[in-house]
Amino acid sequence: MTGIYQGHFQFNQLGMLMSAPQAQGVYYCGSLNSQNQLIPAYIGRAKGNGVTINSRLNDHLRDDHWSGVTHFGYILCSTDQETIALEANEIASYKPIYNTIGK
């Protein structure tokens, strides 16, 4: 069963240490608009079995490819199928700039 959105947390080591779960699900990286809503620049998935929301976010923070990303949020999922479907639907809905082919 898909959970509810949790966020917004600072996209930095402390924010991830305090708020990014060791669980599977879909995560959103972006910046806040004037209404304090997260505008996703990237949406990804953590498939579980050692690949968690926390580990994926830390990978992205280490790579440091995203200028302007200041916050993250996430939705926990129970199964791989839920995670894959939610990620695909959210990418289609938000069309984040860093979810393009070849990036």
Q: Which residue has the tokens 């949020």?
A: 73
DSSP H helices in 4-102 = 13-19, 53-63, 80-94
What pLDDT band is residue 2 in, cutting at 50, 70 and 90? confident
pLDDT single digits (tens) 49-72: 889 999 999 999 998 888 889 999
pTM (predicted TM-score): 0.92
pLDDT at residue 101, rounded to an integer:
58
All structural domains of the chain with their residue ranges: 6-94
Give the Cα separation of 61 and 43 in Å (integer). 14
Q: Report whether pLDDT(102) > 70.
A: no
Give the Cα separation of 52 and 71 in Å (integer). 17
Q: What is the mean pLDDT of residues 77-82?
A: 94
CATH number of 6-94: 3.40.1440.10
Give the Cα separation of 99 and 102 in Å (integer). 9
